[in-house]
């Protein structure tokens, strides 16, 4: 009887062990499902992060192309606007100033100095790209320089932050014109010089290119007047807060007056006649 009791006890223990194994396997299966869910969620987060990083990286490498396309579109738009301006006969000569057909070519800045009194700029377009010396360098925020010389695929120019150049400008409300020159400090301010002392320059007046030179078309916004003062006791000068921030420059347009040679020829002819 004792022997039979031991057998039953062992069978009972075996049965309990088997039941516990089934229970453990069932619990493990349930636990694995939860683990699968968390793993899948984590995997999706990692995938989303990788995809997002990939898109950001792809966007970074295509940014240059996008900006170049925008620069080209901007140059085409500026040229189209200039065409409409020339065709607008309702405007007064004092506002249009000068004459000629201006061609705009987009370009990228290769190098630009900012830390001297004679700052320069190098562009990635040259004479084989249609760039000519004495062309203006502009952006949608203003006129920033003048091309001095060209190579096959590069151009060298002087920026407004150079004491050797000036830009013929006009103050909006008064209509007075004068040369816009760099103030020699930083890249934010410039001065319009040679203003008659009786002219009142209102703070906030917008400053434009005058169009009285054969380099820049008229009415390109340059900045706003923030102050004016009597200078050297004989003339007034107006301090201008420039629209263009030179530290962020990358893409520009080179503007060339196709009538420039004819205008200069007439000017030289008149000068020779006077002599």
Mean pLDDT of the chain: 76
Each residue of 110-147: pLDDT tens digit?
999 988 889 999 999 999 999 999 999 999 889 999 99
Q: Is the pLDDT of residue 64 over 60?
A: no
**Nearest partner of 93 among 208, 180, 259, 211, judged by Cα:** 211
> Which pLDDT score is estimated for 243?
94
User: Does residue 154 register a pLDDT over 50?
Assistant: yes
Query: pLDDT at position 160, please?
Result: 93
Per-residue pLDDT band for 14 (boundaries 50, 70, 90) equals low
User: Cα–Cα distance between 244 and 250 in angstroms, integer?
Assistant: 12
How much is the pLDDT for 5? 55
C-alpha angle 149-155-161 in degrees, rounded to nearest 5:
85
Q: Residue 114: which residues within 8 A CB-CB, separation 6 or more?
A: 161, 187, 246, 247
In whole angstroms, what is the distance from residue 157 CA to residue 139 CA? 15
pLDDT of residue 271: 54
Domain 93-274 in CATH 2.40.10.340? The answer is: yes
Report if pTM > 0.85: no
User: What are the pLDDT digits (tens) for 25-58?
Assistant: 555 455 555 555 544 555 555 544 555 555 455 5
In this prediction, residue 98 carries a pLDDT of: 39
Residue 245 to residue 261: CA distance in whole angstroms: 32
């Amino acid at each position: 009887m004792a022997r039979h009791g031991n057998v039953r006890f062992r069978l009972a223990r075996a049965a309990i062990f088997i039941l516990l194994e089934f229970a453990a396997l069932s619990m493990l299966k349930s636990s694995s499902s939860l683990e699968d869910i968390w793993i899948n969620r984590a995997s999706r987060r990692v995938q989303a992060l990788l995809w997002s990083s990939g898109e950001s990286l792809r966007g970074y490498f295509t940014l240059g192309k996008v900006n170049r396309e925008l620069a080209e579109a901007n140059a085409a738009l500026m040229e189209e606007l200039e065409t409409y301006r020339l065709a607008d006969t309702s405007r007064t000569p004092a506002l249009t100033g000068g004459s000629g057909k201006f061609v705009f070519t987009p370009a990228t800045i290769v190098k630009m100095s900012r830390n001297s009194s004679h700052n320069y700029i190098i562009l990635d377009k040259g004479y084989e790209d249609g760039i000519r010396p004495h062309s203006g360098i502009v952006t949608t925020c203003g006129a920033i320089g003048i091309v001095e010389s060209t190579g096959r695929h590069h151009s060298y120019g002087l920026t407004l932050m150079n004491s050797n150049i000036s830009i013929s400008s006009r103050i909006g409300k008064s209509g007075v014109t004068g040369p816009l020159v760099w103030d020699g400090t930083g890249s934010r301010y410039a001065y319009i010089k040679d203003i008659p002392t009786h002219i009142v320059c209102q703070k906030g007046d917008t400053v434009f290119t005058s169009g009285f030179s054969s380099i820049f078309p008229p009415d390109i916004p340059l900045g706003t007047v923030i102050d004016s003062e009597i200078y050297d006791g004989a003339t007034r000068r107006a301090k201008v807060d420039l629209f263009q921030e030179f530290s962020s420059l990358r893409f520009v347009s080179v503007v060339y007056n196709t009538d420039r040679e004819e205008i200069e020829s007439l000017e030289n002819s008149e000068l020779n006649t006077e002599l």
